[in-house]
Amino acid sequence: MNQIGHLAGATMQCAGQSSSEAGRRAQRCRSCTVRKNALFVGLSPTELDEIAPAVPDIVVPAGETLYDAESRADSLFIIRRGVVKLVNYLPDGSYRIVRLARRTDVLALETLLGEPCDHTAEALTEVEVCRVPIGVVRMVMERQAWLSTRMIHHWHLAVQTAHGWLTRYATGGARQRMARFLADLHDECVSEACPRPCFEVPSRDDVGAILGITKETASRLISDFRRSGLLCKVDARRIEVDRERLEEVAAAEA
C-alpha cells in the first residue's frame, strides 16, 4: 500500500538533489561505523564517494512500516540504529515475529533474488536505515567479488538466527523461553558495549508473538521475574537482569 510512498517521501525529505546533499552522504559513508560490519567493508574511499549519493539514509519513527510482506522492494535496508521486527501475519489476524533486526543487520535480502518481501518490517523503536538500491548492490558485486561472500554471511546469519529462535524460543516451557529471550536481549546489549547492561523490552504483545505465548502470560512471567529478583526496572522503559540466574531458569529441566 503506502509504505513505498512513505519511504519515497522520507527519501525526498533527506535527499534533496543538491550537490551539498551528495557531499553530506559521502561524508556520512566515509565515517560510517556500521559499514565495516555490513556490506561495503572493502570499498576504497573513491568508490564509496561514487555510490554514496545513491544511498539515502532514512529515519523511521517507532511503529511505522519499512515494507510490507508480498510487496516488491527495490532496495536493501541496512540498519544503523534502532530495532526492527520482521513479522508474519497469519490468516486469522494473529501474527508471529520471526526476527528482531538491529544495527548492521541487512533487511529485504530476498529483493536481490527478485522475490517479493517475505515479511512485514516494522520499526520497534525509532530506526535509522540506509536504503541501498539493488542496482548499486549489483554494480558493486560485479566489480568486487568479495561482496558475494559478504552477502552470503548475512543470509547465513538469518538462517542461524531463525534456527536459534526455533530451539530457544519455541522449545520448553514459557518460563524457560522468557528467560532465554531476556538473556539474549541482555547479551545483545552487552555486545554493543553499553556502559551499564540494561535494555528495553518490547510490548507484551510483541513478546508474546516472539515466544508463542499470550500477552497475559508474558506479563505474568515478567512480573514474576521481577518479584523473584531476576530483573529490576532501571527507568520507565529499561530493565536490568541477573544474567546468571536467568541462565539457570532457561536451562531448568522442570
Partner DNA sequence: CGCCACATTGATTTGGGTCAAGCGACGTGG
Partner DNA sequence: CCACGTCGCTTGACCCAAATCAATGTGGCG
Per-residue binding letters, 80-109, with a copy of itself (x by CB under 8 A): --------x-xxx-x-x-xx---------x
Task: Please tell me whether residue 214 binds DNA under the rule CB under 7 A.
Answer: yes
Site residues for DNA, 47-76, by CB under 7 A, read none
Nearer to DNA, 94 or 160 (CB): 94
Nearest CA-CA partner of 109 in 184, 188, 15, 38 = 38
Total number of residues binding DNA (CB under 7 A)? 17
Q: How far is the CB of 175 from a copy of itself (least distance, A)?
A: 14
Per-residue binding letters, 166-185, with a copy of itself (x by CB under 8 A): xx-xxxx-------------
In order, the DSSP letters of 39-78 are: S-TT--HHHHHHHGGG--EEEE-TT-EEE-TTPPPSEEEE
Q: Where is 182: in which H helix or E strand? A: helix 174-191
Four-point Cα dihedral 164, 212, 185, 68, nearest 10: 90
Cβ pair 5, 65 in contact under 8 A: no
Task: Please tell me whether residue 158 binds a copy of itself under the rule CB under 8 A.
Answer: yes
Angle at 88 (CA atoms; ends 87, 93), nearest 5 degrees:
110
Per-residue binding letters, 211-230, with a copy of itself (x by CB under 8 A): -x------------------
Cell of 234: 532501571
Residue 152 binding target from a copy of itself, DNA, none, CB below 5 to 8 Å by type = a copy of itself
Q: Cα–Cα distances in Å, from 210 out to 88, 159, 168, 247?
A: 11, 16, 11, 19
**Binding positions for a copy of itself, rule: CB under 8 A:** 88, 90-92, 94, 96, 98-99, 109-110, 112-113, 115, 118-119, 148-149, 151-153, 155-156, 158-160, 162-163, 165-167, 169-172, 212, 251, 253
